[in-house]
Structure 1
Amino acid sequence: MKSKLKAVLFDRDGVLNLDEGYTHKPEDLVWTPGARAAIRRLNEAGLKVVVVTNQSGVARGLYDLAAVDLFHDEMRRQLAKDGARIDAFYACPYHKDAQVDAWRHDDHPDRKPNPGMLLAALRDFGLKPDEAIMIGDRGSDMEAARRAGMPGHLYEGGDLDAFVARVTA
């Protein structure tokens, strides 16, 4: 592991779990290949594991924040069976085209590509940007990392554990 590295921030859908479009039901959780092993690898190395996820389905009225929490609880439950954990989840329900008025915002600071969730994670864990990396599957994830001052690594599928091992070496 990189000596300065203290945390890995992950996008959720398409990186840790398969993205079936507005994935939010616990029974629909399907991990990407190697995701659980990657998280355990990082835990064992003493790194913080954080999820930063845009959840526009909340803004679109497809589900609520309680459903997001239930999905994250299921992730925690399954990881615990592997002796692994995610240290924190940050979810942004805001979207400019929200159907739910409370979540309508033209350019919320937490919605990636803005860095709000990443900066909150750094602050909450007392980290500097050069002590963390972002792993995501979209340009907006990479832009959020850039704006937060941390390296971003684009995951394009395959074994996430092997990818994590490579980018943290």
Structure 2
Amino acid sequence: MTANISPSLAAERLIILDRDGVINQDSDAYVKTLDEFIVYPQAIDAIARLTQAGYTLAVATNQSGIARGYLNATTLDTMHAQLNTVVENAGGRLDTIAYCPHGPEDSCDCRKPLPGLLYQIQEALNLPDLQNSWMVGDSLRDLQAGEAAGARPALVRTGKGARTEAKGGYAGDTPIFDDLAAFVDWLLG
């Protein structure tokens, strides 16, 4: 974020992305290793386009695989370092990555659909609120977290998105896109 952008304008230019299923391939068996962390090339290009258009980008991701013992924080940090490298090599930037390491039974306030991860992003970026920002995800809990934090939700069909679309349960005016690239095409349209 550049110094000449007011915090309220930055909030309007903030895109929060879910990770698994939006930026990279998801797995019902969890993404546990760097070898399993396979990015969608079109998502990386989309992140670069948003960066070049002046958007601030953040990632909010549930990573209960840590609580379940499938991976540790060091492995996750390695994945995120690799993600940052790939994004930067494409001409993009992720301003912050927030993750929840807890399982569903841990009663934390950061596991989506709760908005805690989004509030962590808000605090890390020193934003007054998340009104007019976007939360792009492939699951109902992504959309619910975005709405709870005041962000506008958008659904992508990649990852678990097609299943989420078929099940419904989200606001009727939620825009739906084939993938992150299609969202960016629409947003920058």
Find the counterpart in structure 2 of residue 96 from structure 1.
104
Find the counterpart in structure 1 of residue 121 from structure 2.
121
1:115-135 CA distance string (max 9 Å, x none): 001011112213222241100
Find the counterpart in structure 2 of residue 25 from structure 1.
33
Deviation at 1:85, TM superposition (A): 1.9
Identity %: 33
1:72 and 2:80 are equivalent in the alignment = yes
Deviation at 1:27, TM superposition (A): 2.3
SS at match of 1:89: strand
Structure 1 portions without partners, runs of 5+? 98-104
Change (3 A) 1:111 1:168: farther
Q: Which AA in structure 1 matches 2:114?
A: N
Q: Which AA in structure 2 matches 1:44?
A: Q
CA RMSD after TM alignment: 1.8
TM-score, normalised to structure 1's length? Answer: 0.86
1:81-125 CA distance string (max 9 Å, x none): 21222111101011134xxxxxxx1x2110000000101111221
Find the counterpart in structure 2 of residue 152 from structure 1.
153
Q: 1: distance between equivalents of 2:94 and 2:130?
A: 19
Among 12, 18, 39, the alignment partner of 2:19 is: 12
Q: 1: distance between equivalents of 2:179 and 2:102?
A: 31
Structure 2 portions without partners, runs of 5+? 1-8, 159-177
Runs of 4+ in 1 over 4 A off after TM superposition: none
Q: 2: distance between equivalents of 1:27 and 1:162?
A: 26
Structure 1 stretch 21-30 or stretch 64-73: which is displaced more? Answer: 21-30
